Amino acid sequence: MPAKSSAPSEKPEPSEPPHYHGHRERLRERFYNAGADALSDYELLEMALFPALPRRDTKPLAKTLIKTFGSFAEVIHAPVARLREVDGVGEAAINQLKLIAAAASRVTKGEVKSRNALSSWNEVIDYCRSSMAFADKEQFRLLFLDKRNQLIADEVQQTGTVDHTPVYPREVIKRALELSATALILVHNHPTTPISITLDHARYH
């Protein structure tokens, strides 16, 4: 008797791409065509998390982060310990967020250095806000200026607890002399009150 021919094996149906792939492409297209202003904070955060979470829908996590911390800026500057408390946030996501925060700070410093001077208190506040407004510990920061109010250096002199940091005037003056600075802006933040910064200005000869 002739041998029975085996039934041809069925080819597995190609699996459909995850539903969020199309959403990612639409989001990228809107970003490239209309610019960042066309995206809300959570949508921009979604895109920022794409490289860290390539196989996950980042929309729910982005919305959770915005709800938890308040804004895009507050998310990327949030303390690492607080970020780890959010369900779904792993080390890859934290590294990505902190990379964006570092890039934003570097860009702001570059913009200040490229300008002739810090010409108004609003400019000083905006500059400091990008670096320290969301820090989880109190910082005592020094901005050293020349006679034309150009920024010579921006240094964190001390870091303390959530509500206290020590200040040593002798160290402040010593550093100012080393840099030949003619003016100082002394800055400290208030971690218990987000985006709260206190400024003091001193000029000497």
Question: What backbone torsions phi and psi does residue 178 show, to the nearest 5 degrees?
Answer: -60, -35
With a cut of 60, say whether residue 169 has pLDDT above it: yes
**Lowest-pLDDT choice from 21-25, 82-86, 129-133, 190-194:** 190-194
pLDDT per residue as tens digits for the range 79-103: 899 999 999 999 999 999 999 988 9
The pLDDT of residue 12: 47
State which H helix or E strand residue 201 sits in: strand 197-203
pTM, to two decimals: 0.59
With a cut of 90, say whether residue 162 has pLDDT above it: no
pLDDT per residue as tens digits for the range 112-137: 666 656 777 888 887 777 777 666 67
The pLDDT of residue 72: 92
Give me the residue label for tokens 């895009």: 72
* Residues 6 or more apart in contact with residue 4 via CB below 8 angstroms: none
Residue 161 pLDDT grade (very low, low, confident, very high; cuts 50, 70, 90): low
Reference 185, options 170, 195, 197; nearest CA is 197
